[in-house]
Amino acid sequence: MRSSLSRKIIWFLVILFSVAGMFISYDLTLQHLKIKISDQTALEWACSAFENSSCAEVSNSDWGRYPFGASKDEFSIPTAQLGLYYFTFVFCWSFLIGSVTKSRRWVHLFFTCTTAVGLGACAYLDYVMFFELDFWCPLCLTAHVASLLIFVCAALLWPRVPIPVVVAESSESPESAGDQTEVTPTAEPPVPPRHWPNARVLVYAAIIILFAVNIEHLYLGLLGQKQKIRNETYRKELYKKNFERYDGKWYHTFTAWSMSPAVNISTAGLPFRGAENARHTVVIFSDFLCPSCAKFEKSFESKIMPMCAKYGGIKVFFKNWPICMDCNPTAKINVHPRACEAAYAAEAALIVGGDKAFWKMYDLLWDRQEDIKKGLSFVELAKQIGLDTEAFTNAMHSKEVKERIRSSVEEGMHLGEDLVKAGRIKKDELEFIKVNSTPAIFVDGKRLYSPRHPKTWYQIMRLPPPKKKPPQSSSTRPKSSTTTSKPSGAKSKSQ
């Protein structure tokens, strides 16, 4: 078109269509990223306006992200977000440059080719949407129509020579014609041709377009991070509610224990408390400086063990699992400083004084937990139970003690891996079997979460003993010279 007014109208339409495309693409991007700014996005109602229309189904398909078919673990970007960048480019270009002169046709050719590429991408996605997918997206189709109209307008804005304005000459009367003398017109200087846009404008426009696209990218990334934090908070709250509901019912914990697979835990050479022929076996992985472990130990000693003694009793083994970086490679930070030293003290007492000394040190470590955290010497505890302090100190720093703790920690880390190799459980189930927190309680080889319900233990005690006890590991633990065990329900108090 050559008319100046017509070209201005078309230029305004390009800006209008690009704004509409930006608005729709932004809304689709929010839906794809599952970002909720309000209860319902501005155009979300249009997605379900037809029987087989669904923006969510289209955006969640393999074509909803680029590269097409990329998995969630691979790098990808929502297709709608690419559309947002495209319409942003069109808007900035039209607003900053607009209609170009004939001498700058190559500039408009670049713009026209870009809109042609955008239209081609839209046509391809429309084909996929209507012939490959079960649903179609009204917002996507609207944005594609806007892209078509932008291309048409770009073609109509192709620079042409403007139509010259013809000025009609004034008519003269015959009378005055005869009297008119011949006048030689004065030559006007030629008007220099106008070149738009110049190089400076093109550079500024490119900088502004890149800046606008980067601002959009950063803004969407910020919204995504905020939404991720909100989702994570929601998941934690939901998990907490579900766990409290699960933890509050004894039959939930009993059912979960019943369905858990039994794992092999080595107990050879370990001191135990309870009867040798007890009906059930309990193995506890614990940390002497863990407050939750101390709370469980107190409840277990005063309530659970006396109750279990009435129904055939339990045979209890203890394994050290300090949550401390000094001896536990799974610990990322020293959650319980000096926990490894406390574990060394218990093992040293076993080596120097046998099972009886172990249980005395065991009780002292729980009773003096707060004092140990404040710096209480373990040698003082050894004196209280009558151990030779020099032999105790040497044992605490011996390779044998450290090897025992390392072996116990590694065993807890790898529990259940043999079941994965045998195909009895899936690999992701290991997180619910292996030791990853304390106290970790295993009854007859099965992990028991939330062992605080007495009725859970009562139901377990009513069950017959397992037909076949879990086989012992080939790597047996060195046994101390003294083989006495702590009686069931009795707690050895230090003298």
Q: What is the pLDDT of residues 302-359, one digit of tens each?
A: 999 999 988 888 999 999 999 999 999 888 888 899 999 999 999 999 999 999 999 9
Task: Identify the band that residue 42 occupies on the pLDDT scale cut at 50, 70 and 90.
Answer: low
Angle between helices 199-247 and 79-96 (to 10 degrees): 150
Euclidean distance between CA atoms 346 and 278, whole angstroms: 24
Does residue 379 surpass a pLDDT of 80?
yes
Handedness of CA 348, 349, 354, 359 (dihedral sign): negative
Does a structural domain hold residue 272?
Answer: yes
Q: Check pLDDT > 90 for residue 368.
A: yes
Q: Say if residue 338 is in the same domain as residue 436.
A: yes
Examine the domain organization and report whether 270 and 217 are in the same domain. no
Find the domain containing 108 and state its range.
Answer: 4-162+198-230
Does 448 fall in a domain?
yes
Average pLDDT, the chain: 85
What is the percentage of the chain residues whose pLDDT exceeds 90?
Answer: 53
Mean pLDDT, range 280-308, rounded to an integer: 93
pLDDT tens, position by position, 147-157 = 999 999 999 99
Task: Answer yes or no: do 132 and 223 share one domain.
Answer: yes
Q: Once rounded to an integer, what is the mean pLDDT over residues 194-208?
A: 89
Secondary structure tally for the chain: helices H, strands E: 17, 7
Read off the tokens for 143.
């944005």
**What's the one-letter identity of residue 270?**
L
With beta carbons less than 8 A apart as the criterion, state whether 91 and 82 touch: no
Q: Kindly provide the b/e burial profile for residues 24-43, where b requires at least 16 CB atoms within 10 angstroms of the residue's own CB.
A: bbbbbbbbbbebeeeeebeb
Same domain, 424 and 287: yes
* Burial class of residue 389, CB neighbours in 10 A (0-12, 13-18, 19+): middle
Amino acid type, 354: G
Query: Does 42 or 223 have the greater pLDDT score?
Result: 223
Burial class (CB in 10 A: 0-12, 13-18, 19+), 326: middle
Closest by CA position to 346, among listed 313, 387, 311? 387
Q: Are 324 and 338 in contact (CB under 8 A)?
A: yes
Tell me, yes or no, whether 225 and 285 share the same domain: no
Cα-Cα-Cα-Cα dihedral of 28, 34, 35, 36, to 10°?
100
Pairing outcome for strands 280-286 and 314-320: parallel
368 & 455 share domain:
yes
Q: Which residue, chain included where needed, has tokens 């019912």? A: 249
Give pLDDT, residue 68: 86
Top pLDDT among 189 and 68 is at 68
Look at residue 477 and tell me if it is in a domain. no
Going by pLDDT thresholds of 50, 70 and 90, the confidence category of residue 38 is low
44-63 residue pLDDT tens:
777 878 888 888 888 888 88
Q: Let me know: does 277 contact 314? Beta carbons within 8 Å.
A: no
Give a yes or no: residue 87 inside a domain.
yes
Domain shared by 267 and 219, yes or no? no
Comparing C-alpha atoms, which of 82, 117, 92 is closest to residue 202?
Answer: 92
Per-residue model confidence (pLDDT) at position 406? 95
- pTM for the structure as a whole: 0.55
Question: Does the residue 176 lie in any domain?
Answer: no
C-alpha 16: how far from chain center: 39
Q: Which residues pair with 272 in a beta bridge?
A: 317
Within a domain: residue 250? no
Let me know if residue 254 belongs to a domain: no
Answer yes or no: do 83 and 33 share one domain. yes
Q: Which tokens in the block code for residue 86?
A: 């495209």
| Rounded average pLDDT over 18-44 | 81
Cβ neighbours of 431 (radius 10 Å): 9
- Kindly tell me if the per-residue pLDDT of 191 is higher than 60: no
Pair (273, 215) in one structural domain = no
Task: Indicate the number of domains in the chain.
Answer: 2
Q: In this structure, which amino acid lies at residue 391?
A: A
- Is the bond leading into 197 cis (omega within 30 degrees of zero)? yes
Q: How far is CA 293 from CA 299, 318, 326, 437, in A?
A: 10, 12, 19, 10
Q: Which of 230, 252, 274 is the last residue of a domain?
A: 230
The pLDDT of residue 47? 83
DSSP-assigned letter for residue 446: E
Confidence of residue 241 (pLDDT cuts 50, 70, 90): confident
Does any domain span residue 290?
A: yes
Residue 89, classed as helix, strand or coil, is: helix
Query: Do 281 and 224 fall into the same domain?
Result: no
Domain end, chosen from 180, 206, 230, is at 230
Question: How many CB atoms lie under 10 A from the CB of residue 156?
Answer: 15
pLDDT higher than threshold 90 for residue 115? yes
- pLDDT over threshold 60, residue 83: yes
CATH number at residue 220: 1.20.1440.130
Strand order in the sheet with 314-320: 272-273, 314-320, 280-286, 440-443, 446-448
Mark whether 429 and 291 lie in a shared domain: yes
Whichever domain contains 369, its CATH number is 3.40.30.10
Whole-angstrom distance, CA of residue 115 vs CA of residue 11: 14
- pLDDT category at 481 given cuts 50, 70, 90 is very low
- Position 238 scores a pLDDT of 79
- What CA–CA distance (Å, rounded) separates 128 from 141? 12
Whether residue 454 has a cis bond before it, omega within 30° of 0: no
Region of poorest pLDDT, from 125-134, 174-183, 310-319? 174-183
Would you tell me how many other CB atoms lie within 10 Å of the CB of residue 205?
A: 18
Of the residues 210, 230, 250, which one is the last residue of a structural domain?
A: 230
Q: Are 211 and 307 members of one domain? A: no
- The pLDDT of residue 429 is above 50: yes
Alpha-carbon span 41 to 353, nearest angstrom: 72
